Structure 1
Amino acid sequence: MQHSLPRPRRSVLFVPATNEKAIAKLAQLACDTVIFDLEDAVLPEQKAAARDRLAKFFAERPAGAREYVVRINGLKSPWGADDLAAASGWATDGVVLPKIETPRDLLEANDVLDEADALDTLKLWAMIETPRALVNLAAVAELGRDPSARLSCLIAGLNDLAKDTGVRLTPDRRYIQPWLMQMVLCARAGGIDMLDSVSNDFRDLDAFAAECGEAAAMGFSGKTVIHPAQIGPANAAFSPSVEALAEARAVVDAFALPENTSSGVISLGGKMVERLHLAEAERLLARAAQLESLRH
């Protein structure tokens, strides 16, 4: 059975648009997606130069399957409108809107892209990093059901969310886990991806790997990262494990047996297995094949 799979977003690397050295090294990295940042990582006096640097990059965009998106400045800032207007003409896969709060924020950005005749392949991403965004999250994510709205992905922005709410970001993230699960639930209801927030301590890779594992178990699509060293652990956590693939193959093989081809439920290894589990297994194997193809 063939499955239509979205492109993987296991590791999504933030790169300051002004960091020439980091941009030059991108070809050597294994991240699935790059977010060029025009917002927090760029000083006000560097905004215009950073925008010009990205225009040059996208004019000479490298070939390959990697996804490149741009985080613009907020549309209410002095730079946001120019950022969005410029990005509408670039060969970028998406525009990340920071600090969105209501569906209207996305719809207004989408109107600008439509008026600029931006390609339909240019998608909108949204940062969920304010209390209002979290309160309005279900309505925001529902835009993912309307292809004309362009919404493709949401990103948890826990640093700003913690700052605005006073909730402590402990290493185990215990106080903010209910919000993380709410984000995943709303994103899935809208049929879009949900990416976990960045981890600020890029030196403690063991803690980072554990956080990635928990995020994968929560249902996140991938992890935003701020350092190349974090790419490997993120890719590993959000890729099918050897054990999961073996179990998936066993399910597919069991249903392929002549005596099971017309069965809705079978017994496998002492467990009841339904056809919904077969569909899950086929998707997992298809994802593994997709990831393997990207390596070559």
Structure 2
Amino acid sequence: MSQRPVRSVLYIPASKERALEKAKGLACDAIIFDLEDAVAIDEKVPARTLLAETLPTADYGARLRIVRVNGLDTTWGREDVLSVVDADAVLLPKVNSAADVDAIAALTTLPIWAMMETPVGILNAAEIAAHPRLEGMVMGTNDLAKDLNTRHRPDREPLLTSLQMCLLAARAHGVTIVDGVYNAFKDDAGLKIECDQGRDMGFEGKTLIHPAQLEVANAAFAPSEAEIDLSKRQIEAFEQAERDGQGVAVVDGKIVENLHIVTARATLAKAHAIEAMKD
């Protein structure tokens, strides 16, 4: 799991110079510079060139810089990967197995992230997450919903099994994982519902398609003041219990054991990391 906040992971088309410039001032934790779906076929090569020229000198601050390349089975994929040298990670679309990660690992020394967006990829999530070069997973819920022939539902019930399988794989192997996009970028209420659901499930953040979605995602995936306060009180009470020779403490009428302290410390660490991002 990443120690860097990834509450908001914004897709930016690598073909748009204005978008690349604007991203420097946006309140996102991470940027996915997209060479794949967001770029038209006749713009693929110019977009790659523009991004390769931009990243070495552009200041994106503490934001995680991820480049989504075209698939290695396309005309552009291999050269996309080879062109990415000044980034924090390379994101490969439609990863179906660990063999796909092997293929991109042979071309780059950068950390690798995988788009989880095909039925085969979901079924192989555990072996993909276990790959030693893999550091992150991104849910591609639009492509997945298409392949599964599901209908859209606000509760995302048709996708829950797939989401949970990838979460299990990521947690089992210590891999960062972020939720898929919410398409209605003007619907803050709907976005909040989906962000809260993703946070409750265990995702570390959400991929976004528009800067207007940043505020909602950042709030949803950050520890609340109540969570921070509870974490501090749990740690204090447990440390006092240990000094008194006890193995458990009680806070707000609930038992607090060591496992709760692990969560509490992780909550405070995330809050501190978010504050550091602001600085």
Q: 2:171 aligned with 1:188, yes or no?
A: yes
Q: 2:224 aligned with 1:227, yes or no?
A: no
Aligned-partner residue type, residue 255 of structure 2: M
Deviations 1:177-202 (A, max 9, x none): 12111111111111101111011110
Aligned-partner residue type, residue 134 of structure 1: I
Contact 1:254–1:260 (CA<8 Å) still a contact in 2? no
1:49 corresponds in structure 2 to 46
TM-score by length of 1: 0.90
Distance, in Å, in 2 between the alignment partners of 1:82 and 1:260 is 60
Residues 258 and 275 of structure 1: CA distance in aligned 2, closer, same or farther (over 3 Å): closer
1:65 is matched with which residue: 62, 65, 68?
62
2:253 corresponds in structure 1 to 270
Query: What are the equivalent positions in structure 2 for 1:278-293 lying under 5 Å apart?
Result: 278-293=261-276
1:250 corresponds in structure 2 to 233
Q: 2:104 aligned with 1:112, yes or no?
A: no
Distance, in Å, in 1 between the alignment partners of 2:229 and 2:65 is 33
2:111 corresponds in structure 1 to 123
1:15 corresponds in structure 2 to 12
1:99 corresponds in structure 2 to 94
TM-score by length of 2: 0.96
2:78 corresponds in structure 1 to 81
CA RMSD of superposed structures (Å): 1.5
Q: Per-residue deviation at 1:258? A: 7.0
The alignment partner of 1:140 has SS state of helix
Q: Per-residue deviation at 1:259? A: 6.5
Provide the aligned length of Structure 1 versus Structure 2: 279
Deviations 1:70-125 (A, max 9, x none): 000000000001101111xx210011000111100001110112xxxx3xxx2101
1:31 corresponds in structure 2 to 28
Q: Per-residue deviation at 1:267? A: 2.1
Distance, in Å, in 2 between the alignment partners of 1:81 and 1:262 is 60
Q: Per-residue deviation at 1:129? A: 0.8
Structure 1 unaligned blocks of 5 or more: none
The alignment partner of 2:130 has SS state of helix
Q: Per-residue deviation at 1:56? A: 1.1
Q: 2:8 aligned with 1:6, yes or no?
A: no
Q: 2:220 aligned with 1:237, yes or no?
A: yes
The alignment partner of 1:39 has SS state of coil
Residues 157 and 63 of structure 1: CA distance in aligned 2, closer, same or farther (over 3 Å): closer
Residues 258 and 153 of structure 1: CA distance in aligned 2, closer, same or farther (over 3 Å): closer
Distance, in Å, in 2 between the alignment partners of 1:49 and 1:134 is 33
The alignment partner of 2:112 has SS state of strand
Distance, in Å, in 1 between the alignment partners of 2:17 and 2:242 is 61
Distance, in Å, in 2 between the alignment partners of 1:30 and 1:274 is 36
Structure 2 unaligned blocks of 5 or more: none
Distance, in Å, in 2 between the alignment partners of 1:231 and 1:262 is 46
Distance, in Å, in 1 between the alignment partners of 2:269 and 2:74 is 43
The alignment partner of 1:18 has SS state of coil
2:153 is matched with which residue: 167, 170, 189?
170
- Quick one: percent identity of the two aligned structures? 41
Deviations 1:9-62 (A, max 9, x none): 110000000112211111221100000100011111111100111011112031
Contact 2:204–2:221 (CA<8 Å) still a contact in 1? yes
Distance, in Å, in 1 between the alignment partners of 2:245 and 2:266 is 20
Contact 2:237–2:250 (CA<8 Å) still a contact in 1? no
